[in-house]
């Protein structure tokens, strides 16, 4: 077992019961405030650990990280050191924060320098994302969409059960939680018998996803096996891959989504290491037909991550519209990364790979409004008396995620975005 995962560990830092961020988590992110430029932080309870200050004070001397890795506006320099170095860093911080370790906790002056209350910081994009790939890996979601728009008896396209289907997205419009977005504009075709029209999308939807961030991969021309794949995964974030359904319907043939998807994708601020999620590994759903040899894997490669989506109308209270779980995904992350590189495509540190919409087997676990309101035929009632078929201007969409067993809870916090009117 990785030392920092020990469920019996307790920190001298006060961590509220049920917190997403106990000593067993220790996710990384980038923060700033009025006194500090953007720099790397680690989360414990309701505090951010200033990793630059911790390094300057000499607490990280035996680790292979320079000051520049922490005095940075992204995690990219830190990720350059690879998985084992990042594991050592998390283990070291775990040791420093453990209640029996007096090395830091008895130096009040140092504690005041390195522990900053979360309400005193602003989180910024944790990673400089080079490339972004979005998969389509939920069988339930793909079946629902195929049932709505194609033949219910042949909902899945012929390739779906054979390959982790994906497409390349737009990294420049990936944004951090709490950044508002505007309703996008584009072409739609409301009437099949009339020409298309230009204007604001009328069908803005969320897509409940998780995403993983990579370490540097192999050189161009080489591929990553399913056995190796998790060594190249830095960590995970919550991911809301916004979608304009009416724009998408008109534009996606023959080359797939374009304007319908590239206007915004929102991620959570804290990157939870794959190491921290090991206690929550579960079996991947049975794959039938048997996958081709390069996609075969051994062991538990899926993760039991509880997921929730809420919609808050402007001036009203939140309505939880979805309760789902990452474990439902038909294709796991190892298979996704392996398939991505099987042709020799190289991934780089900071690349973002989205899971695709996560839908479960029951209607309350569907991961998009398209499914939850079933293409507008089953509107969802809001606490203020209004109803939703898709997301309206002024609505805030909040996604949350956490793993939990009888010993520990590891959470991702939330990704929250408000939709503003079209410009």
Read off the pTM: 0.97
Domain count, the chain: 2
Residue 6 has a pLDDT of 98
226 lies in the same domain as 80: no
Could you tell me the CATH number of the domain that includes residue 28? 2.30.30.230
207 lies in the same domain as 348: yes
173 lies in the same domain as 43: no
Task: Give the residues across from 214 on adjacent strands.
Answer: 233
277 lies in the same domain as 185: yes
Residue 150 has a pLDDT of 87
Average pLDDT estimate for 310-322:
98
84 lies in the same domain as 107: yes
Domain stops at, among 78, 108, 124 = 124
**Stretch among 148-157, 319-328, 404-413, 414-423 having the lowest mean pLDDT:** 148-157
Residue 151 has a pLDDT of 87
Q: Is 141 a catalytic residue?
A: yes
CA 83/CA 99 separation, integer angstroms: 26
Domain range for residue 382? 132-420
* Helices first, then strands: H and E counts in the chain: 10, 26
Task: Give the residues across from 39 on adjacent strands.
Answer: 31
Residue 203 has a pLDDT of 98
Q: Which residue has the tokens 């916004």?
A: 242
pLDDT band at 200 (very low <50, low <70, confident <90, very high): very high
pLDDT band at 1 (very low <50, low <70, confident <90, very high): confident
Domain stops at, among 124, 153, 170 = 124
282 lies in the same domain as 239: yes
Which pLDDT tens digit goes with each residue over 59-113? 999 999 999 999 999 999 999 999 999 999 999 999 999 999 999 999 999 999 9
Instruction: Determine contact, residues 204/242, Cβ cutoff 8 Å.
Output: yes
276 lies in the same domain as 395: yes
153 lies in the same domain as 114: no
Q: Which of 55, 109, 110, 141 is catalytic?
A: 141
**Stretch among 143-152, 231-240, 293-302 having the lowest mean pLDDT:** 143-152
- Work out the mean pLDDT of the chain and round it to a whole number: 97
87 lies in the same domain as 154: no
84 lies in the same domain as 100: yes
CA 9/CA 394 separation, integer angstroms: 43
Planar angle of CA 129, 130, 136, nearest 5 degrees: 80
Q: Distance between alpha carbon 353 and the CA centroid of its chain, in Å? A: 9
Domain stops at, among 99, 124, 149 = 124
365 lies in the same domain as 401: yes
Instruction: Determine contact, residues 322/172, Cβ cutoff 8 Å.
Output: no
What is the percentage of the chain residues whose pLDDT exceeds 70? 100
CA 91/CA 105 separation, integer angstroms: 17
173 lies in the same domain as 112: no
Which pLDDT tens digit goes with each residue over 180-195? 999 999 999 999 999 9
Q: What would the two tokens of residue 207 be?
A: 């897509």
Residue 202 has a pLDDT of 98
Could you tell me the CATH number of the domain that includes residue 256? 3.90.850.10
Q: Which residue has the tokens 């389509």?
A: 136
Instruction: Determine contact, residues 52/62, Cβ cutoff 8 Å.
Output: no
Instruction: Determine contact, residues 410/278, Cβ cutoff 8 Å.
Output: no
pLDDT value at 398 more than 90? yes
R_g of the chain, CA atoms, integer Å: 22
Name the nearest CA neighbour of 274 among 303, 299, 295.
303
């Amino acid at each position: 077992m990785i030392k920092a995962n020990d469920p019996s560990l307790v920190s001298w830092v006060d961590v509220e019961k049920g917190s997403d961020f106990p000593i067993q988590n220790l996710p990384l992110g980038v923060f700033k405030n009025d006194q500090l430029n953007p720099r790397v932080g680690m989360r414990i309870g309701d505090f951010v650990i200033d990793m630059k200050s911790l390094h300057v004070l000499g607490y990280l001397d035996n680790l292979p990280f320079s000051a520049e890795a922490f005095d940075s506006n992204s995690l990219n320099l830190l990720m350059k050191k690879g998985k084992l170095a990042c594991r050592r860093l998390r283990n070291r911080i775990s040791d420093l924060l453990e209640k029996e370790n007096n090395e830091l906790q008895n130096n009040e002056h140092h504690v005041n320098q390195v522990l900053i209350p979360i309400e005193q910081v602003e989180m910024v994009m944790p990673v400089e994302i080079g490339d972004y790939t979005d998969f389509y890996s939920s069988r339930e979601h793909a079946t629902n969409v195929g049932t709505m728009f194609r033949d219910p008896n042949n909902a899945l396209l012929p390739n779906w059960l054979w390959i982790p289907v994906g497409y390349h997205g737009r990294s420049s419009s990936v944004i951090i939680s709490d950044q508002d977005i505007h309703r996008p504009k584009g072409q739609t075709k409301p009437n099949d018998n009339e020409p298309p029209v230009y204007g604001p999308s009328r069908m803005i939807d969320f897509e409940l996803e998780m995403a993983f961030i990579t370490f540097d991969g192999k050189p161009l021309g080489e591929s990553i096996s399913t056995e190796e794949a998790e060594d190249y995964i830095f960590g995970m974030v919550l991911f809301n891959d916004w979608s304009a359904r009416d724009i998408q319907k008109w534009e996606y043939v023959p080359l797939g989504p374009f304007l319908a998807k590239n206007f915004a994708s929102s991620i959570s601020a804290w990157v939870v290491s794959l190491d921290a999620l090991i206690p929550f590994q579960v079996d991947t759903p049975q794959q039938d037909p048997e996958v081709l040899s390069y996609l075969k894997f051994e062991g538990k490669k899926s993760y039991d991550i509880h997921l929730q989506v809420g919609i808050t109308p402007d001036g009203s209270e939140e309505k939880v519209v979805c309760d789902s779980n990452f474990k439902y995904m038909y294709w796991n992350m190892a298979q996704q990364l392996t398939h991505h590189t099987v042709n020799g495509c190289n991934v780089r540190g900071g690349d973002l790979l989205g899971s695709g919409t996560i839908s479960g087997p029951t209607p309350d676990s569907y991961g998009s409004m398209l499914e939850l309101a079933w293409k507008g035929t089953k509107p969802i009632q809001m606490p203020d008396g209004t109803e939703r078929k898709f997301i309206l201007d002024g609505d805030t969409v909040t996604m949350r995620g956490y793993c939990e067993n009888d010993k520990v809870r590891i959470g991702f916090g939330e990704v929250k975005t408000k939709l503003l009117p079209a410009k």
